[in-house]
Amino acid sequence: MRLEEQRDPQGTRYLLYKERSCIGRALLRENQLLSLEIHPDWRGRGYGSYLLKELLRRGGGFDPARETCFTAPLPSDAAAQALARKFGFLPRDGRLCRRRVPDLSAVSLCHRFLAGTLQPGGLYLDATCGNGHDTLFLCSIAGPHGRVIGLDIQPRAVENTNALLAAHGMAGIGRAELCDHRELERFSPPGSADCVLFNFGWLPGAAHTIHSTAASSVPALQAGLRALKPGGVLAAVLYSGKVIGDAEKQAALALFRALPLTAYTVLVCDFANWADTAPLPCFVMKKQAGPP
Ligand SMILES: C[S@@+](CC[C@H](N)C(=O)[O-])C[C@H]1O[C@@H](n2cnc3c(N)ncnc32)[C@H](O)[C@@H]1O
């Protein structure tokens, strides 16, 4: 099966081929689906679903981080109505509409919390810089007077992060270094960091065999807590599951729960109606020294 895309004054035409025969076609103008039809000989075999799913996918309709709205004319026949329902189109103002808003992910919750807590101009560490999205986010908070250091044990992660920062004009604020996060105090001596961020796990888009483990994550979290200024925040997104197991998450939680209340405020933000393996955002705030 092959889906061909052709530019057209009316929008983009999609032609679905099975071997040499064109068995389906659709016309899309931005996110308005103007028409979709499957040749009568090929109906009822899932090709309509395939075509519609592919159009939605190409337009970002399955990306949980994107807001999308696709519209289509109200269909007259039952099969087309069922197809539209299957993909979440609902009647609205005389048309069909399929709207998706981004899910609140553990990482976006973490960003929201930090954006509401941190001030520009500080020192921020991204202890697991990966593809650089968290480092870039920290740069946007740090601003031109702040400094951001991203760390990763994989050269590809360091390259990706430095390239992302350069592409966004942030190379003057942040940079990535090849370094195990256990050694983060090389870049942030005790009491110097406004924020230390950990987003554990594996490098998205790379082999899952290289991932963070309790053996390095626990000493790294301890180093991160030492590096924090009074008033600073350590944020960590913990993971568990088939590949990564549960040991790192449990060890990090045990460390957080044992921290003295006199010195730290600790939040563990459980997605309570999700699976037990849902990512777990945690925040540790180092208290300002109180009166003796
Ligand atoms: C989930 S990814 C981080 C995502 C990243 N912050 C982003 O925005 O794309 C986890 C990263 O942690 C890195 N990592 C694993 N163990 C590490 C260690 N001991 N020191 C530093 N980085 C480590 C992995 O190589 C991987 O790139």
What's the CA gap between 290 and 7, in Å, rounded?
66
Residue 56: closest CA among 93, 26, 94, 18 = 26
- All structural domains of the chain, each given as residue ranges with its CATH number in brackets, are 2-100 (3.40.630.30), 106-286 (3.40.50.150)
Closest-lying ligand 1 atom to the alpha carbon of residue 137: 8
Which of 58-67, 218-227, 230-239 bottoms out in mean pLDDT, i.e. has the lowest?
A: 58-67
Residue 111 in contact with ligand 1 by CB distance below 6 A:
no
Q: Enter the pTM of the model.
A: 0.79
Residue pair 139/174 in contact (Cβ under 8 Å)? The answer is yes
* Candidate from 153, 210, 280 with most ligand 1 atoms within 8 A of CB, to mutate: 153
- The predicted structure's pLDDT at residue 167: 98
What's the CA gap between 39 and 221, in Å, rounded?
60
Which residue minimizes the CA distance to atom 6 of ligand 1?
129
- pLDDT, one tens digit per residue, over 253-275 is 999 999 999 999 999 999 999 99
What's the CA gap between 200 and 153, in Å, rounded?
12
Spacing, Cα 147 to ligand 1 middle (Å): 19
3-class state of residue 230 by DSSP: strand
The pair of structure tokens assigned to 143 is: 């601003």
Give the pLDDT mean for 131-137: 98
- Indicate the pairing of strand 147-152 with strand 123-126: parallel
| Amino acid (one-letter) located at 119 | Q
Residue pair 128/152 in contact (Cβ under 8 Å)? The answer is yes
What's the CA gap between 281 and 28, in Å, rounded?
39
Radius of gyration of the chain (CA): 24
- In the chain, what percentage of residues exceed pLDDT 70? 99
Above 90 in pLDDT, residue 65? no
